[in-house]
Amino acid sequence: MKRRSFLKTAAGAAALATPSVRRAEAQGAPTRNETLLLVQEYGPNSLDMQGIGSAQPVNGVSLNCYDTLIRFKRKEFAEGITVFDRDNYEPGLAESWQVASDGMSATFKLREAKFHSGRPVRAADVKWSMDRAVTIGGFATTQMAAGSLEKPEQFVALDDRTFRIDYLRRDKLTIPNLCVTIPFVIDSETAKANAGGDPLAKDYLKNNVAGSGAFKVESWKPGTETIYIRNEEWASGERPKLRRIIARDIPSPSTRRALIERGDADISYGLPPKDFKDLADGGKVRVAAVPVPNAIWYVALNSALAPFKDVRLRQAVAWAIPYEKIMQAALFGRGTPMWGGPQKIDTVGWPVPSHYSYNLEKAKALVAAATGGAGFSTSLVFDAGSATIAEPMAVLVQEALGAIGIKVELNKVPGANFRGELNKKTAPMVINRFGGWLDYADYFFFWNYHGNNSIFNVASYQDKELDVLIDGARFTQDPAEYATKVKAMLERGMDQIPMVPICQPYHDVAMQKYIGGYHYAPPREPDFRYLTKGA
């Protein structure tokens, strides 16, 4: 679409807006500098990030259309780019908050704010929203539990503007967990009035936004586009510069790239690494490359089943993977290498490079010791939806393991079925990518290594010694003890190697050079609240 045609379409859409929108835009239709065209592979399959089955882009709806009590502060990453500051927070719907002296509760004073419906935000709405998040099940409830937010009894509306969270235990992740896109505050009266008898209003909220956030959803056509308009009465921050966002779903990456290169779209993400490399090298558009905090591409080895119950075979795979070839052929350099590090770990950060590197002699020796020289056959699963990266990675792994006596059959699973396949816990090998929202090593290990966590523990890893280290790191209040446990946790994870780290990926976003205010938020979806658009 040419820019003149796009602007004509945007102006036409504004003319058809609802009366409330027309009142909000009485100063005229959004100008070119107030309207953004985002092109993306696919958009939200729901408007409710707490809902079971919500896809990744639903985080963007939550981020832009709902408010949380507090949010992460921003810090500068590069010129014109900010990232979230995991250790510092600023007001959202809560204008202030105080953690009790015993560290076992936090009290929040709500600002005067209104939902999109015009209702005032009340502490009863916060409680209903929190109760819903910890009882709805699925990912939302598990994410809340990651910060020890587990029971409705923890949430207390003291009066209309005062809300308290009672802690089950002293957990350093409780406060930062309030900043992610799950504990958002819902207009409970509107939701319940339209719930049709469902106490959690799942169907209504799947198809409608009932928030107080900086943007409203003007229209949503799943598989086609989502149009957002600015909430002129947003009370939880500075009013965004953009007034309308058109997020268009275009499955073809080549089409999205062409739209960006021609200047017919303002911003895009989710392109293959080669496209981002070409765009960055070409210099016509800007590519914001932020290493995804707490994230790795990895090869998981099912340690609950033969043959990878044997740690020697897991280590053999780690020595046989052609890391550099994968980095260039599959990722085109768009990431930070996670191999060739020291065996002794002296950091509490994550991810850190493993001490493994490409060494076929070591790999062959381990396979020979474990199998008597016979080798074995196995299979490797990867996501067809990530095939531009995962497929060349899988082929290179297959080729390298063949050289040490491991014959690997590749199994490409359609993206819609991939998570279900992982949940079966039957695949011997899996190529996957995981990114944790909260940038702590123990948070990553809780999701991926803990024996009680079946959702993301793709390797089915069970290790009581490691569980003790993970839990000890999560709940200790002593920084020195935390550092000791994290280092021991990382070293044991690398030695036992149920997941072989490949690289920390970049979150790449291509945008025109006149776009400013780009902010990287934990859910890795565009944050429209800070974006600006020049001439």
Block means of pLDDT (10 residues each) for the chain, 535 residues, are 41 41 58 95 95 93 98 94 95 98 96 98 98 96 94 98 97 95 98 96 98 98 97 97 97 96 96 96 95 96 96 98 97 97 93 97 97 95 92 98 97 87 93 91 93 86 95 93 97 97 97 96 94 88
Q: Are 246 and 301 in contact (CB under 8 A)?
A: no
- Same domain? For 215 and 229 the reply is yes
Is residue 279 in some structural domain? Answer: no
pLDDT of residue 262: 96
Cα 320 off chain centre by: 30
Is residue 197 in some structural domain? Answer: yes
Could you tell me the CATH number of the domain that includes residue 179? 3.40.190.10
Q: Tokens standing for 451?
A: 């024996």
Is residue 25 in some structural domain? Answer: yes
Cα 171 off chain centre by: 21
Count of CA atoms in the C-beta half-sphere (13 A) of 66: 30
- Helix count (H) and strand count (E) of the chain? 18, 21
- Same domain? For 117 and 175 the reply is yes
Length of the chain equals 535
pLDDT of residue 26: 52
Distance CA 230, CA 371 (A): 63
- Same domain? For 356 and 252 the reply is no
* Residue 487 DSSP code: H
Q: Are 47 and 209 in contact (CB under 8 A)?
A: yes
pTM of the model: 0.88
Contacts of 305 (CB under 8 A, 6+ apart): 426, 428, 460
Is residue 274 in some structural domain? Answer: no
- Same domain? For 315 and 175 the reply is no
Residue 401 belongs to what domain range? Answer: 295-507
- Same domain? For 183 and 220 the reply is yes
Helix (H, G, I), strand (E, B) or coil at 193: helix
Helix (H, G, I), strand (E, B) or coil at 511: strand
Q: Tokens standing for 273?
A: 């690494």
Distance CA 185, CA 181 (A): 10
Q: Quickly tell me which residue has 């079946």 as its tokens.
A: 454
pLDDT of residue 24: 44
Is residue 319 in some structural domain? Answer: yes
Is residue 180 in some structural domain? Answer: yes
Is residue 219 in some structural domain? Answer: yes
pLDDT of residue 160: 98
Using only the alpha carbons of the chain, give its radius of gyration.
24
- Same domain? For 527 and 445 the reply is no
- Same domain? For 12 and 82 the reply is yes
Please count the structural domains in the chain. Answer: 2
Is residue 286 in some structural domain? Answer: no
How many other C-beta atoms are found inside a 10 Å radius of the C-beta of residue 83? Answer: 22
Given its phi and psi angles, is residue 476 left (phi above 0), alpha (psi -120 to 50 degrees) or beta? Answer: beta
- Same domain? For 131 and 148 the reply is yes
Distance CA 472, CA 467 (A): 8
Contacts of 17 (CB under 8 A, 6+ apart): 25, 218, 229
How many other C-beta atoms are found inside a 10 Å radius of the C-beta of residue 342? Answer: 11
pLDDT of residue 134: 98
- Same domain? For 185 and 301 the reply is no
- Same domain? For 404 and 518 the reply is no
Burial class (CB in 10 A: 0-12, 13-18, 19+), 221: exposed
Contacts of 445 (CB under 8 A, 6+ apart): 350, 466, 470, 473, 489, 493
Could you tell me the CATH number of the domain that includes residue 493? 3.10.105.10
- Same domain? For 193 and 315 the reply is no
- Same domain? For 376 and 521 the reply is no
- Closest by CA position to 456, among listed 295, 218, 257, 242: 295
